[in-house]
Structure 1
């Protein structure tokens, strides 16, 4: 299929797009309309997307235990809800601040690589959905849309964060940071847990690559996914837009691998903090000592993340790491959490346990793969609805109240003592009352 793009035949296919696109996408649109949670979006994404690309989106490292535990561990935390709190959808306030900027919701679209492998509009579709919902958008260094293009289309009234891998080539790092500054990115997030490639066995088995190369088996797989395949045929081939200018397409994977920095140290991180000079988050923190050290080296925010379980097998679920990190750094440090978030209740629990904001990755990418911008909006709508319901039933009228009351509202199952150590929990005293034989209450 690569020859189609080399010969420019995608322009020929594009002539027929007004006729063919509605036909091949009709089943996907019907599936999207029936989705009522992010797991439904996952099923819809799998049915529309090539196995090679869906495997990349869906998989984790090694036996994928870390990715499963990151999701399932949220269920280990129980909701001790307050009744008759007087909450209603009209009075509930889910707005908050991230990186000092106002947003309508306390969760956002995490920076993730390669959106155009799922839908031709890629990061532009995701950014448009985030803008429509009034939330933060994150762009990856390995995005298939450039820093500049997103900077031009994403509204200045909303915050955006640029995620950076620290490459061996400091000139490349400087160039990316300069582009992010010039195009109005509010913050930079340095990913610290991608100094080695995680072993993602589904990618190995599926022959995953960027740009894509196709064996006969992969071509057969493309035939079985007509909506995804037509999308690919009508548009330019996807590649890593922010590092592709001076690198031949066929050498892209080798270039990325050669630029990983296994000996990346705290001194390098401090260099980056000085080079950026603005809001800077360290992404990939799961230990309390690393959290404290990050603040000592110029980081202004902490991003509790295990890379979605895609790097180190059996890495700690982020929801378990979060409370200790919050306790270690105090209440005045901004903390973001991602990893395994698939429900609005997951978001509520993370905020209650110490997060200021929550990043979603797979949840919205399933939406993108299932239906482009409309799919991302659907994913955000689902999570918003679930979060609103969770806050209402918990008895928290705002994100701030959810933070403040968090220790009394959310606790881990089978905790031997209540309240848990270190958490304040006031119980109102009760005046003893006596009920007489006629059921009248008397003091």
Structure 2
């Protein structure tokens, strides 16, 4: 090869776009986004997002469970224009994906829940606000760029039933479409990383965190410049109210099916229960008039050694039949995970940690980047499976998805 010919192969371009654009441009997978977030967060805050309960066996198994399934594609299909839109609890969505509830998002980034909700609205997918959020349900619903049609609210049933029912009333008045009731928080999980790191919420300026300031000054500067962090949905609005020390004591270990029946009577919209729900409990919920189940083990943050939610999908769908919502989260890290869940019978997958990593890596743009990554991977998987739509994938699921390997 001549030198002149070799020179034509050399492409030297100056970096373009903002620093955030370049950072996100290097993120080709969800793990890339995770690593970008890890570089920007203090260790204790990153571990708060990244960690699980006890020995973190559930945390690891959630991801590994998806990888144990194998595909047998359909050959020679015209997949030039696959339709990745879905239907979630009666509403058409741009894709079978949603953003799961995560607590205290403004501790991860001052942009907080509104940035995530706007990214979800831009992608045409639902976002679920947590009771433990750092933005109130009213403020989120009225934020510019946020669509209440895509807003859900996750409810914890408190010992204070008046507060519980007040949250339900406020969610209805603010226009939230779906109410999710968490049923896996009779007590708080044992988050060992948080205990070892001495994490407080909001993060306190201890000796350890002061030393961390030197390593992550941008994070601490943004926190100090932002309004005080609080559990906004249960705050008294005067700097008091609940703290991390006492709020978990409000989880009620006495919650039972009678409470769920009362919530069904009180809530006029779609009602979903969220937790590691087997086929027997799913059938019981269906009989009570519940609209769906969100299969989840809280991302491995509650009960360790808990079954991976994706492994519950097939039996739950067989038990409840069609027309009943089956959603799944915990361990979704790739668009092929979405395809696997749908082939098993789910209506949609939800993610939590990935969008938090995206929020740290690039704000709202980072969250949108996470959605784009997952959906481009899902679209490609759909095409390589020989499927032209979500409906076809679900119908063909038993034939194209082989049993999990050991």
Q: Given the two structures, how large is their TM-score scaled by the length of structure 1? A: 0.84
What's the CA shift for 1:270?
1.1
Q: Which residue of 1 aligns with 2:9?
A: none
> Which moved further from structure 2: 393-402 or 148-157?
148-157
Q: C-alpha deviations, 1:166-196, integer Å up to 9, x for none?
A: 0111111121111111111001000000111
Equivalent positions of 1:338-377 (< 5 A) are 338-377=329-368
Residue 210 in structure 1 maps to residue 195 in structure 2? no
Q: Deviations over 1:132-159 (max 9, x none)?
A: 1111111110111110111112544742
Q: What is residue 12 of structure 2 aligned with on the other side?
A: none
Q: Could you say if the C-alpha distance between residues 250 and 293 of structure 1 is closer, same or farther in structure 2, counting changes exceeding 3 Å?
A: closer
Corresponding residue SS for 1:126: helix
How far apart are the structure 2 equivalents of 1:274 and 1:95? 31
How many angstroms does 1:211 deviate by?
Answer: 2.1
Residue 35 (structure 2) aligns with = 43
Residue equivalent to 2:47 = 55
Aligned to 1:100, which of 90, 96, 103? 90
In 2, the alpha carbon distance for the partners of 1:157 and 1:84 equals: 41
Other-structure match for 2:247? 256
How many Å separate the matches in 1 of 2:211 and 2:20? 19
Aligned to 1:393: 384
Map of 1:34 onto structure 2: 26
Give the match for residue 287 of structure 2: 296
**What is the distance in 2 between the residues matched to 1:250 and 1:221?**
29
Task: Look up the SS of the partner of 2:82 in the other structure.
Answer: coil
Q: CA 1:249 to 1:208, structure 2 compared with 1: closer, same or farther past 3 Å? A: farther
Q: What secondary structure sits across from 1:69 in the alignment?
A: helix
Distance 2:129 2:339 in 1: 24
Larger radius of gyration: 1
Q: CA deviation at 1:220?
A: 1.4
**Further displaced range: 271-280 or 339-348:** 271-280
What are the equivalent positions in structure 2 for 1:176-325 lying under 5 Å apart? 176-245=167-236, 248-249=239-240, 251-325=242-316
Structure 1 residues 29 and 224: alpha-carbon distance in aligned structure 2, compared to 1, 3 A threshold: farther
Residue in 2 that maps onto 1:133: 123
Task: Give per-residue Cα distances to partners, 1:106-130, cap 9 Å, x unaligned.
Answer: 1011111111111111001101111
Q: Distance in 2 between matches of 1:65 and 1:77?
A: 19
Q: Which range moves more in the overlay, 282-291 or 71-80? A: 282-291
Tell me how far apart the structure 2 counterparts of residues 329 and 310 of structure 1 sit (CA, whole Å).
27
Unmatched 5+ residue regions in structure 1?
1-25, 416-443
Q: Secondary structure at the match of 2:338?
A: helix
1:161 alignment counterpart: 152
- The superposition leaves residues 339-375 of structure 1 with CA deviations (integer Å, 9 ceiling, x where unpaired) of 1000000001001101001111111111112221111
C-alpha change, 1:248 and 1:235, in structure 2 (3 Å) is: closer
**In structure 2, the residue corresponding to 1:242 is in which secondary structure?**
helix
User: Within 2, Cα distance between the matches of 1:157 and 1:233?
Assistant: 31
Determine if contact 1:345/1:387 at 8 Å carries over to the other structure: yes
> Does the CA contact (< 8 Å) of 1:108 and 1:130 recur in 2?
yes
Given candidates 95, 99, 115, the residue that maps to 1:109 is 99
Q: Quote how far apart the aligned CAs of 1:245 are.
A: 1.7
Compared CA separation, residues 249 and 71, structure 1 to 2 (3 A) = farther
Task: Measure the CA separation in 2 of the matches of 1:122 and 1:156.
Answer: 16
Give the drift of 1:72.
0.6
Unaligned runs of 5+ in 2: 1-17
* Cα distance between partner residues in 2 of 1:207 and 1:239: 18
CA RMSD of aligned residues (A): 1.7
Counterpart of 1:71? 63
- In 2, the alpha carbon distance for the partners of 1:141 and 1:288 equals 27
Aligned to 1:351, the other structure's residue is in SS state: helix
1:331 CA drift (Å): 1.7
The 8 Å contact of residues 339 and 382 in structure 2, kept in 1 or not, is answered as: yes
Give yes or no for the alignment of 1:172 onto 2:172.
no
Q: Aligned equivalents of 1:313 and 1:157: distance in 2?
A: 34
